[in-house]
């Protein structure tokens, strides 16, 4: 059964003078999905996110959030929205608790629920001990955490984040990824990023923009589908058999022998030969050490669709 | 929601030096003027009955203080409002407001009320100075009340004009300077002109001075209200246009 649609954009366009920043953007986000918006600098990612949040009005098309048209019912639509813009929207003179309370009030959280909402947001973003600190005195990484906390303080159904891991150290990046995964359990997340590995790890869908146009939309598991290739598996074997023996297994197109018992098995779209491989490895005593599904190279696809077209 | 915006704005103003500087500077100038006027009055007090003059404390102390107070509050208002929208835009926090379930009018009115509240503290102190005089002399209470109303309306107009320029001009300092220029022009343009002259009719001083003379005229009230509502309305419209035109 299809999950509830949280964000729907149809024919979204935005023009700045003669420059068409976004053209004909169609986008659907369902509950439980994490949509990664990819593109080169200037591709229109931030503009697209601003259009989705209503901070910028579209020249064409419309957006609905949880069924509410953003242009017609902006107040109702924005209640379901949490947004982190590209530059953190912080008031440096406020303390973290004051700021988050203010943001929660802006999002119409009741006074009685403020302490619990602020505590929850701080806990999720690793700010539990920072409530009394002045935002202006925090490091860049902690400011970014505060900025993320404001986007989720009201427990929105749609979270839109513009490059959320900017200025974070590797540990914080990992925590944000975990947070995104946790958020996606009960809401929908749209975020933009330059880090392809991050998108590959966190997202369920990708939306690649180039010069304001959508050049590729895919479920991450079926990323290679449109290009006509299947998936592949990385296998590590202690005593690998000849490639021909592996090729006899159903659905396997080719075998790429790497080094030190590592092989890459390419298989047809829609076929998963993992079970066959495991059983044959046991029967043939191949010494199976590792079997990992490899996604088609997101980076390769991204380069083909953006740099290639440029 | 207006209260949420106003509270945040007020906290921001009180945690920045500009807010305290404005309050302190206006009050210090008014206190100095107040003392000087009392001394001048005491010097001529004895000769007033002999000359047959009908002027008293209200004319010689209260009205000059109210006129100076109104002028100072008008000119200091842009200091408080210049960051209201331009500062939010520059810091990126305008996106926080625009993506929240609040209307543009709530944003503008909230910021307007915050600045008016802060300058209202000075208005209250001016009132306190005048009441001090009432203890030792007979004041024309009706005229003083209309004068105080004039100061309040003039201050509100300064705030509204400051907010408008803060919406129109991207740089906070430039927004303050433009507002200051407009308000000084509005103050000076009517000086020395006949009150039926078109320029004088549009000037702030014409209407303010009429209120200081004790005349409560609905046209003067309407003038200030139209200026306030017009500036705020235009500011809201400008913010809406920005969503359609901004980069």
CA distance A184 to A32: 5
Tell me the percentage of chain B whose pLDDT exceeds 90: 40
- Whether residue B96 and residue A56 make contact (CB cut-off 8 A), yes or no, is no
| Beta-carbon separation of A55 and B99 below 8 A | yes
Looking at the predicted structure, is the pLDDT value of residue B137 above 70? yes
Read off the pLDDT band of A21 (50, 70, 90).
Answer: confident
Does B1 contact A at CB distance below 8 Å? yes
Q: What average pLDDT is seen over chain A?
A: 84
pTM of the entire predicted model: 0.81
Which chain B residue shows the shortest CA-CA distance from A59?
Answer: B244
Q: Does B46 touch chain A (CB under 8 A)?
A: no
Contact present, A82 and A159 (Cβ < 8 Å): yes
**Is A57's CB within 8 Å of B8's CB?**
no
Over residues A297-306, the mean pLDDT reads: 70
Q: Which residue has the tokens 């590590």?
A: A236
- Judged by CB atoms closer than 8 Å, whether chains meet at B98 and A90 is answered as no
Q: For residue B87, what are the contacts with CB-CB under 8 A and spacing of at least 6?
A: B166, B172
Asked if the model's pLDDT at residue A200 lies above 50, the reply is yes
**B247 near A CB under 8 A:** yes
CB-based contact (8 Å) between B51 and chain A?
A: no
Q: What is the pLDDT of residues A60-99, one digit of tens each?
A: 999 999 889 988 899 999 999 999 998 899 999 899 999 9
Q: Assess B101–A contact: CB distance below 8 Å, yes or no.
A: yes
pLDDT at B84 > cutoff 80:
yes
- Please list, in sequence order, all residues whose beta carbon lies within 8 angstroms of the beta carbon of residue B182, skipping any fewer than 6 positions away: B161, B165
Digit-coded pLDDT (tens) for B14-66: 888 878 888 888 889 989 998 898 888 888 777 776 665 566 788 888 889 89
Find chain B residues with C-beta within 8 A of A102's C-beta: 4, 8
Residue A227: predicted pLDDT: 38
Nearest residue to A301 via CA among A232, A213, A236, A207: A207
The reply to whether residue B243 touches residue A87, judged by beta carbons under 8 angstroms, is no
Which residues of chain A make contact with B93, given a CB cutoff of 8 A?
A: 89-91
Average pLDDT over residues A278-295: 83
Per-residue pLDDT of A243-265, as tens digits, reads 888 888 888 888 888 777 888 88
The pLDDT of residue B39 = 87
The partner residue sitting opposite A103, judged by closest CB among B12, B15, B96, is B96
């Amino acid at each position: 059964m299809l999950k509830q649609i949280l964000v729907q954009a149809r024919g979204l366009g935005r023009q700045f003078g003669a420059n068409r920043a976004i053209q004909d953007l169609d986008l659907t986000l369902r509950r439980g999905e994490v949509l990664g918006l990819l593109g080169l600098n200037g591709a229109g990612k931030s503009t697209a996110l601003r259009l989705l949040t209503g901070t910028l009005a579209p020249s064409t098309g419309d957006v609905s959030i949880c069924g509410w048209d953003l242009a017609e019912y902006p107040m109702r639509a924005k209640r379901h929205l949490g947004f982190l813009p590209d530059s953190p929207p912080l008031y440096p003179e406020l303390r973290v608790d004051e700021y988050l309370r203010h943001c929660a009030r802006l999002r119409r959280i009741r006074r009685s629920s403020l302490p619990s909402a602020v505590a929850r947001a701080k806990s999720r973003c690793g700010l539990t001990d920072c409530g009394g600190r002045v935002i202006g005195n925090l490091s860049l990484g902690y400011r970014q955490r505060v900025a993320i906390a404001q986007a989720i303080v009201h427990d929105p159904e749609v979270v839109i984040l513009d490059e959320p891991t900017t200025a974070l150290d590797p540990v914080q990046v990992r925590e944000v990824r975990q947070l995104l995964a946790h958020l996606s359990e009960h809401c929908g997340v749209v975020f933009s990023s330059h880090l392809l590995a991050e998108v590959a790890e966190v997202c369920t869908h990708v939306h690649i923009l180039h010069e304001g146009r959508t050049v590729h939309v895919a479920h991450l598991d079926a990323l290679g589908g449109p290009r006509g290739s299947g998936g592949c598996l990385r296998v590590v074997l202690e005593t690998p058999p000849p490639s021909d023996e592996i090729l006899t297994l159903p659905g396997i197109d080719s075998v790429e022998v790497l080094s030190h018992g590592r092989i890459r098995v390419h298989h047809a779209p829609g076929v998963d030969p993992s079970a066959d491989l495991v059983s044959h490895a046991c029967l043939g005593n191949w010494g199976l050490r590792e079997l990992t599904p490899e996604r088609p190279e997101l980076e390769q696809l991204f380069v083909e669709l953006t740099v290639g077209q440029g | 929601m207006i209260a949420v915006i106003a509270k945040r704005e007020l906290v921001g103003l009180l945690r920045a030096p500009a807010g305290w500087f404005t309050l302190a500077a206006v009050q210090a100038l008014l206190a100095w003027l107040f003392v000087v006027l009392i001394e001048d009055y005491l010097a001529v007090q004895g000769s007033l009955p002999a000359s047959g003059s009908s002027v008293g404390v209200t004319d010689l102390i209260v009205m000059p203080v109210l006129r100076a107070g109104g002028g100072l509050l008008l000119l200091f208002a842009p200091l408080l409002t210049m960051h209201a929208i331009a500062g939010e835009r520059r810091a990126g926090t305008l996106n926080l407001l625009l993506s929240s379930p609040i209307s543009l009018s709530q944003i503008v009115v909230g910021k307007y009320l915050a600045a008016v509240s802060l300058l209202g503290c000075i208005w209250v102190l001016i009132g306190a100075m005048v009441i001090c005089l009432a203890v030792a002399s007979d004041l024309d209470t009706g005229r003083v009340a209309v004068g105080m109303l004039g100061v309040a309306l003039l201050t509100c107009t300064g705030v509204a004009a400051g907010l408008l320029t803060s919406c129109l001009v991207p740089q906070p300092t430039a927004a303050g300077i433009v507002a200051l220029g407009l308000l000084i022009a509005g103050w000076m343009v009517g000086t020395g002109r006949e009150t039926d002259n078109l320029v004088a009719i549009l000037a702030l001083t014409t209407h303010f001075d009429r209120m200081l003379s004790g005349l409560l005229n609905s046209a003067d009230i309407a003038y200030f209200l139209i200026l306030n509502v017009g500036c705020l309305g235009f500011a809201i419209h400008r913010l809406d246009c920005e969503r359609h035109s901004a980069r």
